Structure 1
Amino acid sequence: MFARIRAQIPHLCSEGHTGRCGDWQQFACRATSDSQKIGTRGTQRPTWAGSVGQKSVGSNMEVKNVGLRKAALISDDDEFFRLALSSLLTARLGFSDVIETETFDGAVDALSNRSDVEIALFDLNMPGMNNWQNLRTVRDCFPEVRVAVVSGSKARSDILMALSIGLHGYISKGLGVSELARALQAICDGAVYLPSFLPDLPITENEMFAPPEPETQPSEPMGALDDLTSRQREVLEMLVNGMSNKAIARALDLSEGTVKFHLSAVFRILRASNRVEAATSGSRLLGRTRAPG
């Protein structure tokens, strides 16, 4: 699996790949290489769990404070980057468990069913991340979790949006291992991390002269179906059909906490203050008549 991923990366690192690997990429390559060396030097093969599980580390990796922290969550559809970041979180920051998901809905399921997640890291360019309101809802529903974006985007608007909705950091994927570890450590320690290049990014004319937006904008149109994740749309359809949270949870095989999260996100996107308003707006979007009751 990882050999296939590496074959698609045109650079050469210390593990023999073609081209040049970035600092954190070499870190992941060493982890991958260690996982394939079984018995050659009497080392034990690391255990790389599927989407959820504890990550052991190989003998060639620098290990610091493993097990001092509880769980971290990575939500990113780039499998190679998840491997690199997971290795960093266990080996450098001491997390004993790293949960990996490749969709936003998967991250919500994990957060709703785990009470030991200390930090959650989200990529902007993955399924379900088509609306900033989703991350805003994560902050509201899981206030004890440190939430940050780890993205390849260097857009000033993305960085400022992350800050405006109350996230605890915005980390560039272009950082090296040491810088990335320091950024994550700062967030875990309670600081808000912003990239050092932010002051150098050009300010657009709209950013310079736009007046501050009011907290509520009742005249702003409600969101569209495209603003919802696939799971949120399923929940909305069942809400429109008059189903209770418990019935929705049973039908989708979710916990009630996960259903409540998705409803909160739907309410925010549709700018609804209660179930009736959400169901009424949802029925218009779905082009159907809402079930009575």
Structure 2
Amino acid sequence: MRHVFIVADDHPLFRGALKEILSSRPDGAEIVEAADFDEAAAALAANPDADLMLLDLAMPGTSGLTGLALLRADHPTVPIAIVSATEEAGVIARALDLGAAGFIPKSAGFEEIRRAIAALLSGETWLPADFVLGERADPETADLIQRIRTLTPQQTRVLTMLARGLLNKQIAYELGISEATIKAHVSAVLTKLGVDSRTQAVIRLSKLGLDPERGITAG
């Protein structure tokens, strides 16, 4: 069966390496490339039945785990595996908590990446061989992750833009909806996060590494 893959990474050489690995699969592969977050989101929207997305943590348009949170909210059925130069246990654990199907280090060799992709296509979770899963998250972080999961896709988009410091008018323009609707979304987001202001929401996100300005930015 021919699989559909989305490769989202802003480094052309690494995208090329992943394409070579995927193209060598015996069952063939249709590969959609994305060089920034907007292209990644558009690729998922155009291929909602994709078998797997390989997502870099640091692409233009988003930082850290923000992109993962947003894409998971928009497309909960498509497996998304992180492919990153970051190999910190805390980053891997948070990615898993936010719904990542696996975590492939960019330092992995071609054969290891092939095995990872095969495992992911079989529905398995793939993690670095030396990763030891300890305590997944402290109670505050676990609560925040659970609250983020209650957001609708549109509310997640609004939250991401709030974290970027955009005003209601700017968010309304980017999403193509009325400012009054944005105000309603902002109110709902603050309620679901259990905070009283935008500032508090951004502070909470920064603790999870979702703040685009202060979040995890290693590729």
TM-score range, shorter chain: 0.5 to 0.7
**Residue of 44, 69, 84 corresponding to 1:151:** 84
SS state at 2:10 partner:
coil
- Aligned letter for 1:79? P
Instruction: Give matches, 1:208-247, under 5 Å.
Output: 210-211=138-139, 213-214=142-143, 215-216=146-147, 225=161, 227-228=163-164, 235-238=171-174, 242=178
C-alpha distance 190-148 of structure 1, shift in aligned 2 (>3 A): same
- Aligned letter for 1:149? I
Q: Which residue of 1 aligns with 2:25?
A: 92
The structure carrying a bigger helix percent of its residues is 2
- Aligned letter for 1:162? A
C-alpha distance 197-69 of structure 1, shift in aligned 2 (>3 A): same
**Residue of 85, 96, 118 corresponding to 2:51:** 118
Work out whether 1:161 is the aligned partner of 2:94: yes
Q: Which residue of 2 aligns with 1:188?
A: 121
C-alpha distance 73-242 of structure 1, shift in aligned 2 (>3 A): same
SS state at 1:179 partner:
helix
Instruction: Give matches, 1:49-68, under 5 Å.
Output: 68=1
Instruction: Give matches, 1:5-20, under 5 Å.
Output: none
Q: CA deviation at 1:134?
A: 3.0
Equivalences, count: 178
Q: CA deviation at 1:95?
A: 3.9
- Aligned letter for 1:242? S
Give me the whole-angstrom Cα distance separating, in 2, the residues matched to 1:126 and 1:238.
19
Whether the 8 Å CA contact 2:57–2:67 is kept in 1: the answer is: no
C-alpha distance 226-144 of structure 1, shift in aligned 2 (>3 A): closer
Q: CA deviation at 1:125?
A: 1.9
C-alpha distance 227-76 of structure 1, shift in aligned 2 (>3 A): farther
Which of these two proteins has the greater Rg computed from alpha carbons? 1
Q: Mean Cα displacement is larger for which, 140-149 or 92-101?
A: 92-101
5+ unaligned residues in a row in structure 2: which ranges? 149-157, 203-219
Q: Which residue of 2 aligns with 1:138?
A: 71
- Report Cα offsets for 1:76-133 as digits up to 9, x if no partner: 0110010010111111263431011110111101111224411011111211232524
Give me the whole-angstrom Cα distance separating, in 1, the residues matched to 2:72 and 2:19.
22
- Report Cα offsets for 1:168-198 as digits up to 9, x if no partner: 0000111111111001110011001111111
Larger RCO, structure (CA 8 Å, separation 6 or more): 2
- Report Cα offsets for 1:239-265 as digits up to 9, x if no partner: 5961799xxxxxxxxxxxxxxxxx9xx
Q: CA deviation at 1:142?
A: 1.6
5+ unaligned residues in a row in structure 1: which ranges? 1-67, 246-262, 275-279, 286-293
**Residue of 66, 79, 82 corresponding to 2:12:** 79
C-alpha RMSD of matched pairs (Å): 3.8
SS state at 1:105 partner:
helix
SS state at 2:103 partner:
strand
Q: CA deviation at 1:151?
A: 0.5
Q: Percent identity?
A: 26
- Report Cα offsets for 1:119-158 as digits up to 9, x if no partner: 0111112112325243123223223311110001111111
Give me the whole-angstrom Cα distance separating, in 2, the residues matched to 1:129 and 1:95.
31
